[in-house]
């Protein structure tokens, strides 16, 4: 059974390194990781952490209102497709709603765009390149009801 919990920034680092930074010489510690408004979610299976994601109070100029940025979404290869990513996003949507947040946005890798669409995100604007990492879309999900 999958268990979701709030974790510390430091607990996200091994999975970030393995999944998001393999052959990518960019920092695995993000600016804002330790901010008081940042939170990190993890999913474990049989007490092993298998998925992580981070949520930061960062604005994107393309959106109005209160915003959070999703960063570092990753599930270990052997555990993909079991609902860990979805579980973290559902939990984040509910927490962010409670905080009065209007939009959750992210820079989505092309390979993850359809995953985010399934969870209700939409793309915004044109595809763009993040050096070394590759092509991305800005994606967003409206959290508030109005």
Ligand X SMILES: CC(C)(COP(=O)(O)OP(=O)(O)OC[C@H]1O[C@@H](n2cnc3c(N)ncnc32)[C@H](O)[C@@H]1OP(=O)(O)O)[C@@H](O)C(=O)NCCC(=O)NCCS
Per CB under 6 A, residues contacting ligand X are 19-20, 51, 73-75, 80-86, 108-109, 111-112, 114-115, 118
Residue closer to ligand X (CB basis): 77 or 145? 77
What does 5-61 look like in DSSP terms, one character per residue? Answer: EEE-HHHHHHHIIIIISTT--S-SSPTTTT-TT-EEEEEEETTEEEEEEEEE----T
Overall residue count recorded for the chain in this entry: 146
Nearer to ligand X, 81 or 125 (CB): 81
- d(C-alpha 135, C-alpha 12), whole Å: 23
Shorter beta-carbon distance to ligand X: residue 53 or 146: 53
Comparison of 41 and 108: residue with beta carbon closer to ligand X: 108
For ligand X, which residue has the nearest CB? 85
Closest CB 119 distance from ligand X, rounded Å: 7
The least distance separating ligand X from the CB of residue 54, rounded to whole angstroms, comes to 11
For residues 38 and 114, the answer to whether their CB atoms sit within 8 Å is no
């Amino acid at each position: 059974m999958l268990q979701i919990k709030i974790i510390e920034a430091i607990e996200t680092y091994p999975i970030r390194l393995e999944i998001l930074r393999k052959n990518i010489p960019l920092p695995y510690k993000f600016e804002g990781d330790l901010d008081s408004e940042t939170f990190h979610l993890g999913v474990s299976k049989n007490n092993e952490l298998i998925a992580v994601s981070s949520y930061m109070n960062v604005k994107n100029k393309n959106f109005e209102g209160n915003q959070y940025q999703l960063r570092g979404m990753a599930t270990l290869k052997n555990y993909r497709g079991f609902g860990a990513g979805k579980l973290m996003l559902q939990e984040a949507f509910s927490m962010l709603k409670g905080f009065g947040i209007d939009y959750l946005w992210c820079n989505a890798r092309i390979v993850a765009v359809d995953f985010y669409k399934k969870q209700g995100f939409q793309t915004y604007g044109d595809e763009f390149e993040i050096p070394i990492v590759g092509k991305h879309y800005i994606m967003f999900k409206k959290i508030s009801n109005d």
